[in-house]
């Protein structure tokens, strides 16, 4: 298969030295990309700013902002069999970026926020019947209900939900625990394990769904 993976955070600039971002290390998305490569698939990895080495053999597209990630996904979506949207895209950005550094002496700045593009909802009309779209839901509460809502709202085949309120998993760690919800009503759980193991488990689900769609 041709697998397109997004990973890591995005950064939305506030001024020339500051930005809005999140705690995503990119480890989960990079683990998915590595698992796909081990399985013999072609991989394009669209990565936000991270400090880990990309898996050897993947095509790497480096981006910074949500707009840049959206453009990269659009450019590489055609011809892919599976999209795994593991990136933690910033939800908001400042409406105006200060041309000069905001001075502490001037006091707290007043910032007007605007929403960044929802990448999965934006590309939903581009989706082909044989393509499999997988999203991630990083939540701190109401995990199952939020994941199911996003599954429907973003027209996904699969969503992998994880609890990021616990210190032993999720952001900036090497381990995760996933609950996968599928558009056909199925749900499956992966207990706390190395992200590489979680990635291989998730990939097997996506391979199965892709094969079914192509029959």
Q: How many CA atoms lie within 13 A of 24 on its CB side?
A: 27
Residue 76 annotated as catalytic: no
> 151 vs 86, 89, 94, 124, 159, CA distance in Å?
14, 17, 28, 12, 6
Residue with tokens 């192509």: 214
Q: Which of 22, 76, 162, 176 is catalytic?
A: 22
CA 138 to chain centre: 10
Residue 112 CB contacts under 8 Å (≥ 6 apart), including other chains: 94, 95, 96
Which residues are tagged catalytic? 22
């Amino acid at each position: 298969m041709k697998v397109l993976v997004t990973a890591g955070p995005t950064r939305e600039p506030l001024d020339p030295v500051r930005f809005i971002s999140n705690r995503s290390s990119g480890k989960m998305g990079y683990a998915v990309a590595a698992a796909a490569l081990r399985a013999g698939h072609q991989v394009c990895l669209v990565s936000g700013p991270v400090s880990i080495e990309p898996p050897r053999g993947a095509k790497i597209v480096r981006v910074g902002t949500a707009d840049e990630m959206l453009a990269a996904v659009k450019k590489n979506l055609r011809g892919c069999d599976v999209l795994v949207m593991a990136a933690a895209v910033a939800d908001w950005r400042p409406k105006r970026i200060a041309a000069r550094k905001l001075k502490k002496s001037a006091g707290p700045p007043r910032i007007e926020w605007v929403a960044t593009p929802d990448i999965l909802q934006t590309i939903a009309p581009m989706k082909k019947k044989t393509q499999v779209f997988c999203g991630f839901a990083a939540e701190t509460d109401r995990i199952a209900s939020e994941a199911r809502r996003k599954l429907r709202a973003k027209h996904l085949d699969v969503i992998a939900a994880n609890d990021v309120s616990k210190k032993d998993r999720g952001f900036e760690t090497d381990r995760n625990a996933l609950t996968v919800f599928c558009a056909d009503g199925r749900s499956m759980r992966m207990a706390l394990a190395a992200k590489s193991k979680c990635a291989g488990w998730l990939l097997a689900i996506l391979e199965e769904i892709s094969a079914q769609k192509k029959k």
